[in-house]
Amino acid sequence: MRHLRFPGTKSWAWAVLVVLILNVALCGVLMAQDAGGGEQKQTEKKYTFFDVWILGGGTFFGFLLLAPIELLSIATVAATIEHFVTIQRDKLVPPEVVVELETLLDEEQYEEALNLCESSKNYITNIVGAAIARVGEGYEPMVTAAEGATEEENLKLGQKISWLSLFGNLGPMMGLFGTVVGMVMTFQTIAESTGSPSPADLAGGIFSALVTTVWGLMVAMPALAFFFVFKMKVQRLTFELSGVAMEIIERFKPVQEGK
């Protein structure tokens, strides 16, 4: 029984490493800003692009709310790039491997063909290899093995692209969480104020709330859009490639019927 494996794990590992390094660097910047800003007068403050969209309003708490969504956005970009590279017909089914496999089968070199399927793992070889492994049992068992392998290969591709759907649905939820927390902070400031709080006192929580909402939507919209694109592409490729695999196996039918 073969085990399902999610391809492209190296891309995820690099994405996580980049985010960890980024978070450490940003925390250092925040700590330096907090240390140097304690004695400064609360006069006019100007927010930079970095303050707003990376630090979530220029505060450490805003960054804590925003960091998980930033991590999700990098994972989304990594997954999208990886899918564009690997979900291609020539990647799933290298033409030279198919030609070599058909040549071995035409020459009835089944052991060599099975070794080729084991050494060159891809969509076609996994299906044809499962069928060749049962060549001694007859045509029907071969077709059954090929159909089972086809379902497994289709499942692996479906699981692979489903991560984008997960990211697309998590983004707004994480943004909503940041929004609620920011509004709680704002109302807490109002409740604890002895007089009328100034707009500057309330701006921090609202700032963080709105920025996390925007980030959540920026993650969700492209993630769901690319998920739909890859879903349609996977459905088309699996339909075409499963047909190619069955055509290769079909050559065994006359041989089995002739016995």
Tokens coding 226: 């690319």
| Measured distance CA(145)–CA(143) in Å, rounded | 5
Residue 118 lies in a domain: yes
Of all helices (H) and strands (E), which one includes residue 13? helix 9-36
| Measured distance CA(85)–CA(93) in Å, rounded | 13
pLDDT of residue 2: 44
Residue 112 lies in a domain: yes
**DSSP state string for 52-86:** HHTSTTTSHHHHHHHHHHHHHHHHHHHHHHHHHHH
Residue among 20, 146, 109 at smallest CA distance from 71? 20
Residue 77 lies in a domain: yes
pLDDT of residue 195: 67
Q: What is the mean pLDDT of residues 246-251?
A: 87
pLDDT of residue 44: 53
Residue 135 reports pLDDT greater than 50 = yes
Tokens coding 27: 């925390």
Number of domains in the chain: 1
Residue 225 reports pLDDT greater than 80 = yes
What is the CA angle 226-231-233, rounded to 5? 95
Residue 35 lies in a domain: no
pLDDT of residue 37: 46
Higher pLDDT, 172 or 57: 172
Higher pLDDT, 106 or 223: 223
Residue 12 lies in a domain: no
Split at pLDDT 50, 70, 90, the class of 234 is very high
| Measured distance CA(48)–CA(59) in Å, rounded | 12
Higher pLDDT, 188 or 7: 188
- The fraction of the chain above a pLDDT of 90, given in percent, is 28
| Domain assignment of residue 159, given as a range | 49-257
Tokens coding 227: 């998920």
Give the 3-state secondary structure of residue 145.
helix
pLDDT of residue 161: 94
pLDDT of residue 162: 94
Query: What mean pLDDT, rounded, does the chain reach?
Result: 78
pLDDT of residue 237: 92
- CA atoms lying within 13 Å on the CB side of residue 230: 26
Higher pLDDT, 77 or 212: 77
Residue 19 lies in a domain: no
Split at pLDDT 50, 70, 90, the class of 149 is very high
Q: What is the mean pLDDT of residues 42-68?
A: 66
pLDDT of residue 188: 76
Split at pLDDT 50, 70, 90, the class of 204 is low
Residue 27 lies in a domain: no
C-alpha distances in Å from residue 116, one per residue of 104, 110, 125, 153, 221: 9, 10, 8, 18, 42
| Measured distance CA(196)–CA(21) in Å, rounded | 42
Residue 23 lies in a domain: no
Residue 109 reports pLDDT greater than 80 = yes
- The fraction of the chain above a pLDDT of 70, given in percent, is 70
- CA atoms lying within 13 Å on the CB side of residue 240: 11
What is this structure's pTM?
A: 0.72
